[in-house]
Amino acid sequence: MSTIVSLPDQSTATLPKVSYLNKEYGLKSWLLTGDHKRIAVLYMISITFFFFIGGAMAALIRLELLTPTTDLLAADTYNKVFTAHGLIMVFLFLVPSVPATIGNFLIPIMVGAKDLAFPKINLLSWYLYIAAGIMMICVLVFGGVDTGWTFTTPLSTHYLNTNVVTAGLAVFVAGFSSIFTGLNFIVTIHRMRAPGMTWFRLPLFVWSHYAASILMVLGTPVLAITLVLVVLERTIGIGVFDPSKGGDPLLFQHLFWFYSHPAVYIMILPGMGVISEVISTFSRKRVFGYTAVAFSSVAIAVFGFFVWAHHMFIMGISNYSALVFSLLTMLVAVPSAIKIFNWSATLYKGSITFETPMLYAFGFLGLFTIGGLTGVFLGSLGMDIHLTETYFIVAHFHFVMVGGMLMAYLSGVHFWWPKITGRMYPEGVSKLAAVITFVGFILTFFPQFILGYLGMPRRYAAYPPEFQVLNVFSSAGASVLGVGYLLPLLYLTWSLKYGKIAGANPWQATGLEWQIQSPPLTENFAETPIVTHEAYDYEWLANKTRNEVQTVG
């Protein structure tokens, strides 16, 4: 199979003498760093940790659901396990996944800046994340919490005696961590671009992070105040959401989903940015319809604020209101469709190679398309009545979040691994991992669509026996999926020491980040770059390489 990898001669190649990794040593130089790349690495280690905790919870869930009865976990334990899975995966993995790691690493480099606008706030964001993580671990250690990640009132405020307050505060703190990340990105993208880096020369990765950041900055505070009210209601007993005091529990749903629906786009948009970069690089071709893809990110961000009540169609909101929200939900599906088709069209007349990031990106295309289209099922009013709160919705958002975002994250990690570490991951085993992940994913979550239409409710520790066969398939798939996720952990760690030396631009990609050494300098660029070419300009890259060869010659 043909490949575009161009590594330096391994017998003579060395890693650069000075890079962000070895400029300073010692724990302190990491924990007090202002360098966005080091913070990105800190984030990457932390979210991997929490991903595997959340993953362990998922494993317990799937094990419990092997049989129709509650034989592995008691019902209350099961509730705590799926709550922990949801809270950790949403707030401690998915929301920060691409933005706080790959985004943090790359956004300043892609816009041609030395760092994010506010390095200290960036570090603060990581510390807030860690604080939230520690609080979440305390919640788990001291008895867990069983609200579900949605904190539905009045269950969370009056009917549970688990650690709801601590969990709520953990999410509150994690929210501020994400606000600061988003704020930093927006300021950096507006104010720190290198000379010549116009808006329409920005890589699509930056555009999608810009859109996601807007959602983080404007949406998260509403979740924060909602959780404050929940905590006050639980501790003091004020009555904003409590029907017995005249409050309205549906108001909680409104405020919660005002954040938590855009949060879905916070999670997926950065992943879409990764896919744009990867597909362009491995087809050696400018992304088809750059402007449309860029604007569709912004459109998703804007429309994302108008659709939240589609989580409440059966809750007794006004029928007129339901109509409006359903219509807007249909509209928000269009930009995603545009993106999918534009990525597919990017392949046309390209020169395609199939390295691991590309395989993950293909996986993303397929799974996200299914996830998006099943979202249309749920946005359609009448269909939603039957499908919501069943395994159909579980399958839908796992296709989008895991099939979409996690595939994109893994694609991105593999794609930029040589840039982050200076070394290549092993190509053969990583391709295997990509295929295993894809197969395992389909096996795990596709049966859940069928279960959902059958009516199996989500968050059930025990279920009627006729659902068992499909659940067994799902659990079997989950074990395959688990292997798919453990493999990268192993071989990427291995590659830190034994991977081939990558050189500055192993993929022959056009982004600014590929024009500097791997791993980069602490200040990213030896001198402020002056940008004279469009994003994804492969002719410019070819000319540049030719000139360099001539100069050296």
Partner 1 sequence: MQHFISPVLWQFLIKWLTNFAIFPPEASSIAPYADALYFFLIFISVIGLGAVAALVVTFSIRYRQSRHPVATQIEGSTLLEATWTIIPLILFMITFVWGALLYFRIYSPPPNAMNIYVVGKQWMWKIEHPGGQHEINALHIPINRPIQLTLISQDVFHSFSVPAFRVKREVIPGRYNTVWFEATKPGVYHLFCTQYCGTLHSQMIGWVYAMKPEDYEAWASGSTSGHSLAQNGERLFAALGCNSCHNDTPNAHGPNLAKVYGARLQLQNGQFVTVDDAFLRDTILNPTLHQVAGYAPIMPTYQGQVTEDGLIDLVEYIKQLDSDYRIEQTIDNSASQPVQTSATPTGTSAPALPPGTVKP
Partner 2 sequence: MDSQSVAAQTVETGHIEHEHPPFLRHHFENVAQQREAATFGMWLFLLTEIMFFGGLFCAYLIFRNWYYPAFVAGSHSLHIWAGTLNTTLLIISSFTMAMAVHAAETRVRRSLMGWMIVTIILGCGFLCVKAYEWHDEWVEHHVPGLNFNPATLEHGTKAYPDDTLAPDMAQKTSVYFSLYFAMTGMHALHMIIGVSLLTILLIGAYKGKYVDGHVAPIENFGLYWHFVDIVWIFLFPLLYLISRHQ
Partner 3 sequence: MEQQQEHHHHLHVPHPDMGPSEPTHHEEHIVTPKVYLIVGASLLVFTATTTAVSYVDLGEFNAVVALAIACIKMSLVVLFFMHVKYSSKLTRLTVACGFFTFLVLITMTMTDYISRAWGRW
Q: For partner 1, which is the closer residue by CB, 130 or 312? A: 312
- Does 161 bind partner 1 (CB under 8 A)? Our answer is no
- Does 298 bind partner 2 (CB under 8 A)? Our answer is no
The first and second tokens of residue 480, run together, are 């395959």
- Does 107 bind partner 2 (CB under 8 A)? Our answer is no
Q: For partner 1, which is the closer residue by CB, 101 or 342? A: 342
CA-angle at 368, arms to 439 and 54, nearest 5°: 65
The first and second tokens of residue 438, run together, are 């894809």
Instruction: Give the three-class secondary structure for 458.
Output: coil
Q: For partner 1, which is the closer residue by CB, 194 or 337? A: 337
What letter does residue 402 receive in the DSSP assignment? Answer: I
Site string for partner 2, 529-548 (x = CB under 8 A): -------------------x
C-alpha 507/C-alpha 524 separation (Å) is 19
Site string for partner 3, 294-333 (x = CB under 8 A): -----------xx-xx-------xxxxx--xx--------
Helix (H) or strand (E) holding 255: helix 249-283
- Does 489 bind partner 1 (CB under 8 A)? Our answer is no
Site string for partner 1, 362-401 (x = CB under 8 A): x--xx--xx--xx-xx-xxxxxxxx-xxx-----------
- Does 24 bind partner 2 (CB under 8 A)? Our answer is no
**Long-range own/partner contacts, residues 158-167 (CB < 8 A, 24 or more apart):** 158/233, 158/234, 158/242, 162/80, 163/138, 163/139, 164/230, 164/234, 165/231, 165/234, 165/235, 166/135, 166/138, 166/139, 166/142, 167/83, 167/87, 167/135, 167/136, 167/139
Of the residues 40, 98, 255, 272, which one makes contact with partner 2 according to CB under 8 A: 255
Of the residues 196, 457, 464, 465, which one makes contact with partner 3 according to CB under 8 A: 196
Q: Are 318 and 397 in contact (CB under 8 A)?
A: no
- What residues have CB less than 8 Å from 140, skipping those under 6 apart? 80, 84
- Does 146 bind partner 1 (CB under 8 A)? Our answer is yes
Segment interacting with partner 1, rule: CB under 8 A, options 45-53, 132-140, 196-204, 465-473: 465-473
Site string for partner 2, 176-215 (x = CB under 8 A): ---x---xx-xx--xxx-----------------------
Q: Are 313 and 322 in contact (CB under 8 A)?
A: yes
- The backbone torsions φ and ψ at residue 489, rounded to the nearest 5 degrees and listed phi first, read -55, -45
Q: For partner 1, which is the closer residue by CB, 472 or 486? A: 472
Q: How near is the Cβ of 281 to partner 1 at its closest, in Å?
A: 11
Q: Which does 516 bind (CB under 5 to 8 A by kind): partner 3, partner 2, partner 1, none?
A: partner 2
C-alpha 133/C-alpha 546 separation (Å) is 49
- Does 530 bind partner 3 (CB under 8 A)? Our answer is yes
- Does 192 bind partner 1 (CB under 8 A)? Our answer is no
Helix (H) or strand (E) holding 482: helix 468-498
Q: How near is the Cβ of 240 to partner 1 at its closest, in Å?
A: 13
Q: Are 338 and 295 in contact (CB under 8 A)?
A: no
C-alpha 546/C-alpha 541 separation (Å) is 9
Segment interacting with partner 2, rule: CB under 8 A, options 49-57, 153-161, 265-273, 512-520: 512-520
Name beta bridge partners: 457.
390
Q: Are 325 and 310 in contact (CB under 8 A)?
A: yes
Q: Are 456 and 463 in contact (CB under 8 A)?
A: yes
Which residues lie near partner 3 (CB under 8 A)?
A: 190-191, 193, 195-199, 214, 218, 222, 250-251, 254, 258, 305-306, 308-309, 317-321, 324-325, 530, 532
Which residues lie near partner 2 (CB under 8 A)?
A: 16-19, 108, 113-119, 121, 179, 183-184, 186-187, 190-192, 217-222, 224-226, 228-229, 232-233, 236-240, 245-248, 251, 254-255, 258, 504-505, 515-517, 521, 523, 525-528, 548
